[in-house]
Amino acid sequence: NLHAATLAQSYPFDEQTSAFAGDVIGDLSQFPKRLSPKYFYDAAGSELFEQITVLPEYYPTRTELGILRSRGDEIASIVPRGAALVEFGAGATTKVRLLLERCDFGGYVPVDISGDFLTAQAGGLRKDFPELGVYPVAADFTAPFALPAEIEGMPKVGFFPGSTLGNFEPHEARAFLRSAREILGEGAQMIIGVDLEKNERVLYDAYNDAAGVTARFNLNVLVRINRELGGNFDVSAFMHRSVYNRERHRIEMHLIAKKAQTVRILGRNFSFRPGESIHTESSYKYSLDRFTALARDSGWSVRESWTDHDRMFSVHALAA
Ligand code: AVI
């Protein structure tokens, strides 16, 4: 990260903030402007996301939970006894609990960039599953990391729920799946949740909820830039917009400048024309065929796929 290195000479940032600063400067210097969706999830953003997951319009979370519940026994039947469960990204523990309750795991390894979050999460699970070894790893799961020595020799099962894969560009999704295969090793399995392409109105509403929570979630990244990087975004001068891009099978979230303005961040000026957009997130929606092809391209085969009755969401068991 070129900008991060230059910035580090003038600003006393820790490693994470320095990477954030470098990405923000680089991405807002592009045309069209963009920001990475991974920066949504500070404490306020993670809380807003939790609120999104229970919105009436936001179907993915409750649909995936429904599949994990109703197909739990089938999913459990593919998990070898005493396997280690490696979760890529650690959010609410509701989903992983469904697996832990039904399967006989020898260890659980949540992997997340936020160490604080991991500690809190691990504490709750240790209490409720006293027999289970919980070995958190604080790492960016999109890059290679080492598995803890405690799970050596156990069969490995990856877990990547929530259609987080959909927030990766297709080349990033392939890179992630390849890297996960590398980390988990020969003979591993992976349980992954993937959102499906569907009626555009349903997709539109899911990212334009009536209560405006998604708008606040989107705008929060500007609040975070102001707080952590000393930016001077006038957050009220931007508005949330989500649109479905049919050709690319993705919902796009944008922040639109309501008027011409210049924003100053870390000694640099960024000018906006009225109506100019910052592309903050893409959420790709897959067909079963397109996901199967993506998995194959990345060294996995699809062993089993489960969907809900209305084919809104899918959960897949992959084999390395
Ligand atoms: C985390 N991720 C899968 C969510 C999604 O649906 O793409 C993030 C989100 N963005 C807007 N609403 C929810």
Q: What is the pLDDT of residue 7?
A: 79
283 C-alpha vs ligand 1 centroid, how far in Å? 7
Between CA 8 and CA 1 the distance in angstroms is 11
* Weakest-pLDDT range from 40-44, 83-87, 115-119, 278-282: 115-119
Is the predicted pLDDT of residue 201 greater than 80, yes or no? yes
Q: Verify whether ligand 1 is closer than 6 Å to residue 162 (CB atom).
A: yes
**Residue 170: its pLDDT value, please?**
96
Q: What is the CA radius of gyration of the chain?
A: 20
| Largest Cα–Cα separation, the chain | 60
pLDDT of residue 16: 86
Ligand 1 neighbour 283 (Cβ under 6 A):
yes
User: Could you tell me if the CB of 220 is within 6 A of ligand 1?
Assistant: no
Q: Residue 7 C-alpha to ligand 1 middle, in angstroms?
A: 30
Task: Decide if pLDDT at 117 tops 90.
Answer: no
pLDDT at residue 9, as a whole number: 79
Whole-number Å distance, alpha carbon 236 to ligand 1 midpoint, is: 22
Which pLDDT tens digit goes with each residue over 216-268? 999 999 999 999 999 999 999 999 999 999 999 999 999 999 999 999 999 99
Cβ(214) – ligand 1 distance below 6 Å: yes
**Per-residue model confidence as pLDDT tens digits over 85-94:** 999 998 789 9
Determine the pLDDT at residue 168.
97
Expressed in angstroms and rounded, the spacing between residue 147 Cα and the centre of ligand 1 is 27
Q: Among candidates 48, 71, 307, which has minimal Cα distance to 193?
A: 307
22 lines ligand 1 (CB under 6 A): no
ipTM: 0.99
The label of the residue with tokens 């900008």 reads 3
**What average pLDDT does range 160-189 have in this prediction?**
96
Residue 16 φ/ψ, nearest 5 degrees: -70, -45
Kindly state if the Cβ of 161 falls inside 6 Å of ligand 1: no
When the pLDDT of each residue in the chain is averaged and rounded to a whole number, the result is 95
Which residue is closest in CA terms to ligand 1's atom 5?
283
d(CA 42, CA 64) in angstroms, rounded, equals 24
Q: What is the pLDDT of residues 57-85, one digit of tens each?
A: 999 999 999 999 999 999 999 999 999 99
